[in-house]
Amino acid sequence: MGKTDMDVSVLGFGGSEIGYQRVSAKTVARLLGGALDAGLNVIDTAECYEDSEALIGKALGARRREVCLFTKCGHSRGEWRADWREEALLRSIERSLKRLRTDQVDLVQLHSCSLAVLRRGEAISALEQARAAGLTRYIGYSGDGAAARWAVECGRFDTLQTSVSIADQEAIELTLPAARKAGLGVIAKRPLANVAWRYARKPAEAYYQEYWERLRKLDYPFLPGRGDAAVKTALRFTLGVPGVHTAIVGTTKPDRWRQNAALLGDGRLPEAERERIRARWKAVAPPSWEGQI
Ligand SMILES: NC(=O)c1ccc[n+]([C@@H]2O[C@H](COP(=O)([O-])OP(=O)(O)OC[C@H]3O[C@@H](n4cnc5c(N)ncnc54)[C@H](OP(=O)(O)O)[C@@H]3O)[C@@H](O)[C@H]2O)c1
């Protein structure tokens, strides 16, 4: 994964859904246990995804060393209450280690702070201190747009986590070429655009609405079929984007990881198909379709 020593599975696990949807510890144990047995070795979570860290820590138990474990910091008092001060970030990382039942994570990421916060430097030095103290092996930025671009170019991060999917392609030109050049590890978040096309009507959940609207306008010919075929094309598209090392799909379902891994059996999308998706995006997407946090 970039210049890091991590050899990651292309399909990872995104830990927000298990937290926000209050999935039981028993189900998470089944979900992660089955995925690990089948080859998963990337787990991403955050300090503010409700009980996600604790659920993952409990489910992993003695299998901690089988995975690359990523978390984030910046909202230690809840999703809507950011705190980018050094002391708060370091405290949050210590708490993440306790919840994840480990003495060191593989990666800690700044959880989508603004460009102004990045420029101030205090948040980045907090992560550097955490790395120097051995709390994490690597440090990264998770976010999009101009802030992500700055994070790539500042030379202080090991990884970038950013939105990449059929409904979110800004990063393909804005940040990923620079990330590749700099040797950063790249984690694609929201890699299935939340499968927003599964909703016949505009979903009530605000988080899904932007992608749902975009996908209606993009009107990709492979979406009306829905089901596995559409997921297969969408996931293969994301993983075929140059620079992307792993795609962290969120799920609440124990069988999903194995199902999605099977959809990747044919490898990357053929170039012509990939080009058609890119061309459609370029023809339809206005500049306002920025990377979604
Ligand atoms: N700012 C940030 O740092 C940030 C922001 C957003 C996300 N993230 C990270 O990125 C991860 C992934 O993002 P996400 O979960 O929002 O988006 P996603 O992975 O694009 O979509 C997840 C959704 O797709 C569904 N899904 C997965 N496989 C499917 C399949 N084969 N068929 C039908 N539905 C399927 C899941 O439903 P089921 O439960 O039914 O499987 C879930 O609702 C998060 O967990 C988090 O770790 C980070």
Residue by residue, pLDDT tens for the chain (293 residues) are: 999 999 999 999 999 999 999 999 999 999 999 999 999 999 999 999 999 999 999 999 999 999 999 999 999 887 778 999 999 999 999 999 999 999 999 999 999 999 999 999 999 999 999 999 999 999 999 999 999 999 999 999 999 999 999 999 999 999 999 999 999 999 999 999 999 999 999 999 999 999 999 999 999 999 976 679 999 999 999 999 999 999 999 999 999 999 999 999 999 899 999 999 999 999 999 999 999 99
Are 183 and 245 in contact, with CB atoms under 8 Å apart?
A: no
Q: What is the pLDDT of residue 288?
A: 97
159, 1 in Cβ contact below 8 A?
yes
> What residue owns the CA closest to ligand 1's atom 42?
251
CA gap 204, 109 in Å, rounded: 30
**pLDDT confidence of residue 235:** 98
Distance of CA 50 to the CA centre of its chain: 17
Helix H segments across the chain? 16-20, 25-38, 52-60, 86-100, 115-120, 122-132, 145-154, 170-174, 176-182, 206-218, 227-240, 256-263, 271-284
Question: What is the pairing mode between strands 42-44 and 11-14?
Answer: parallel
Burial track 69-103 (b if 16+ CB lie within 10 A, e otherwise) = bbbbbbbbeeeeebebebebbbebbeebbebbbbe
**DSSP β-bridge partners for residue 20:** none
Query: Among positive and negative, which fits the CA dihedral 87, 91, 92, 97?
Result: positive
The DSSP annotation for 219-256 comes to --TTSTT-HHHHHHHHHHHHHHSTT--EEEEE-S-TTH
3-state secondary structure of 42: strand
Closest ligand 1 atom to 192 CA: 20
Burial class (CB in 10 A: 0-12, 13-18, 19+), 55: buried
CA of 191 to the centre of ligand 1 (A): 7
The tokens 């990045």 sit on which residue?
118
Query: Treating both helix axes as pointing N-terminal to C-terminal, what angle do 227-240 and 256-263 enclose, rounded to 10 degrees?
Result: 70
Residue positions annotated with a catalytic role: 49
Under 8 Å between Cβ of 12 and 243? no
pLDDT reported for residue 107: 99
- Ligand 1 and 195: CB distance under 6 A: yes
pTM across the whole model: 0.98
Q: Is 142 in the pocket of ligand 1 (CB under 6 A)?
A: yes
Q: What is residue 226's predicted lDDT score, i.e. its pLDDT? A: 64
Ligand 1 atom closest to Cα of 250?
15
What is the model's pLDDT at position 76?
84
Rg for the chain, CA atoms, rounded = 18
Task: Point out the ligand 1 atom lying closest to the alpha carbon of residue 144.
Answer: 1
Closest CA to 53 of 82, 26, 91, 25: 25
CA distance from start to end of the chain: 22
**How far is Cα 189 from Cα 112, in angstroms, rounded to an integer?**
12
Smallest Cα–Cα separation from 107: which of 58, 175, 160?
160
Contact 96, 71 (CB under 8 A): yes
Top mutation candidate among 168, 192, 211 for ligand 1, by most atoms within 8 Å of CB: 192
| Predicted pLDDT at 98 | 98
Contacts of 198 (CB under 8 A, 6+ apart): 226
